[in-house]
Structure 1
Amino acid sequence: MPAPVTARPALAALSAVPWWLVAAVLLAVAFGLAIAADEGYAAIFNALSAGIGTTLFVTVVAFLMAALLGLAVAGAMLSGRRIVREAATFYVEIVRGIPVLVLLFYMAFVAAPALVAAWNVVTQPLQAAGLLAPAGVRDFDLLWRAVVALVISYSAFLAEIFRAGIQAVDRGQVEAAKALGLTRVQVFRLVVFPQAIRTVLPPLGNDFVAMIKDSSLVSVLGVQDVTQLGKIYSSGTFLFFETYTVVAYIYLLMTVSLSLAVRALEKRLRRHEALRGG
């Protein structure tokens, strides 16, 4: 007996679901149940869950700031002035050649003390008048040192993504918008950016997921994220296998969930574009 007509769309939707996604969901559910049923794993998960907020905070704040800086650098790379274009390209090429971990150490132990010393020099008159207390290196929180390092590192990669997306917009549309009397800001906001964002969304999503994983590097500075809490817990209990299994599980939950969210957003944008085209 054939399936009812109303059931066919549901069956088609189920058949379109990737097998890897089904396997990942089943694995996540199975491991989640195992954590809930086992007191040892549950204790580890409870201990590490306190760092999820820090991991997400570092990721979201650093990525948003890196995107804004990267967009500005991309605009500079497309500038008509050679000195601006060359300076932006120099920034991108140099930063992309430095490993994130090295940049974290440099920001934490070289740049931060230098910035604090420069701040004290600039504010010396206010300090002498008793209006401002001298700043110490410890006043520059390690969390924000890590965030700044991630912003600098990822802004160089995002700048290249934005540059490619902007250049992918048909030049004829830009010229037509200018002929209609739109200003450069209006052309970018109404014509260039809406089209460029659809082009750069997939690589932006990939970099956002990558930043979640790279945020674990902040643990080397003692920031209390998931990785750092796992390191502390395992060193105190010697449950290295169990602890780092839970650490991996937490990161997988975050990365896979965000990957699916980005894919859903891409599909929605494509449907919206198809409707507009139709």
Structure 2
Amino acid sequence: MTDGQGRAEPSRLELDRRAFRRRQSTRSVLVGAGSTVVFAVIVWLTLINTPGWARVQKTFLDPAAAVEAWPRVFGGLLVNLQVLVVAAVGVLILGSLIAIARTLRGSVFFPLRALAAGYTDLFRGLPLIIVLYIVGFGIPGLGLFAERPSAIVLGTVALVLTYSAYVAEVLRAGIEAVHPSQRLAARALGLSHAKTLRLVVLPQAVRKVAPALMNDFVSMQKDVGLISVLGAIDAVRAAQIETASSFNFTPYVLAGLLFVLLALPTIRLTDWYSARVRAREQIGSNV
């Protein structure tokens, strides 16, 4: 069936199917919203009727304490953001180099492959907090610098060392997932090994593992708060100082909420991109 301009019009059956899908979608949204409200009300009523709710509310959810702690905690969060940006760039560079080293072919590159494999095994096995202690107190103890590096610099180095191992393995998996025919075709066109890797293999590899890379970034967003163990005045350390002065844990809750708000955009972007990739890969699979 066509309209007056020759364009195809959906059949009556297709229109009925679309209307049914719209009704089902609306019904699902309403049911989901209703069940969420009911669940939230039940949880809230249960919580406020517990014997210790008043004490917990004053200790952890005091608005006056949150307002008083806000300037220092927010200032500390800006420090976390600076460390996060620098660490993300460092992780991207170092992780890419390690991933490329692990995928080099030829016996002459065996030492590089072994070194890269040992690096990833070591730093994926070490807890981040131990790496922070080793870097934060071990490097200054070597006496390599005239002045002791700041806790922010040392914390950034520890983050880069740890997360580069995870990112390198993710990128290596993406590189190895690219079909060998892509390399062969690029070399047949006259591209060198370096150009093949840069122009053909890496772009495809990054697209394949982008959701995993985003998840690593989300993880690093919250772990950047661990630099406080070295004495850096970030959001966590600022919350600790405010808690010690007021004997109230609300600053910790405030810092936690700020970290959640910082991570939410990346989390939602990761979910959206993962759904987009999944939908693209499943085109034509629905009957």
- TM-score (ref. length: structure 2): 0.73
Question: Hey, what does 1:180 align to over in structure 2?
Answer: 189
Are 1:219 and 2:228 matched, yes or no?
A: yes
Q: Is the 8 A contact 1:112 1:145 kept in 2?
A: no
The 3 A distance-change label for structure 1 pair 272 and 65 is farther
Q: Is the 8 A contact 2:231 2:237 kept in 1?
A: yes
Are 1:203 and 2:203 matched, yes or no?
A: no
Q: How does 1:1-278 map to 2 (within 5 A)?
A: 15=29, 38-80=63-105, 81-114=109-142, 117-118=143-144, 135-137=146-148, 140-240=149-249, 242-266=250-274
CA positional deviation for 1:273:
8.4
Q: Cα RMSD between the aligned structures?
A: 3.5
CA positional deviation for 1:183:
1.7
Q: Secondary structure at the match of 2:178?
A: coil
CA positional deviation for 1:111:
1.6
User: For 1:223 and 1:84, how far apart are their aligned partners in 2?
Assistant: 35
User: For 1:76 and 1:200, how far apart are their aligned partners in 2?
Assistant: 18
The one-letter code matched in structure 2 to 1:203 is: A
Q: Write out per-residue CA displacement over residues 159-197 of structure 1, whole angstroms, 9 at most, x where no aligned residue.
A: 111110100001111111111111222212221112111
Question: In percent, how many aligned pairs have the same letter?
Answer: 32
User: For 1:270 and 1:189, how far apart are their aligned partners in 2?
Assistant: 25
User: For 2:154 and 2:181, how far apart are their aligned partners in 1?
Assistant: 44
Question: Hey, what does 1:32 align to over in structure 2?
Answer: none
User: For 2:81 and 2:117, how far apart are their aligned partners in 1?
Assistant: 30
The one-letter code matched in structure 1 to 2:166 is: F
CA positional deviation for 1:113:
3.2
The one-letter code matched in structure 2 to 1:65 is: G
Corresponding residue pairs, total: 242
The one-letter code matched in structure 1 to 2:196 is: V
CA positional deviation for 1:43:
2.4
Q: Write out per-residue CA displacement over residues 205-253 of structure 1, whole angstroms, 9 at most, x where no aligned residue.
A: 111111111111111111111101000000000111x222212211111
User: For 2:196 and 2:282, how far apart are their aligned partners in 1?
Assistant: 23
The one-letter code matched in structure 2 to 1:87 is: L
Deviating above 6 A after TM superposition, structure 1's stretches of 4 or more consecutive aligned residues are 269-275
Q: Is the 8 A contact 2:65 2:248 kept in 1?
A: no
Q: Write out per-residue CA displacement over residues 42-61 of structure 1, whole angstroms, 9 at most, x where no aligned residue.
A: 22333311112111111221
The one-letter code matched in structure 1 to 2:267 is: S
Q: Write out per-residue CA displacement over residues 127-183 of structure 1, whole angstroms, 9 at most, x where no aligned residue.
A: xxxxxxxx122xx11110110011011111111111101000011111111111112
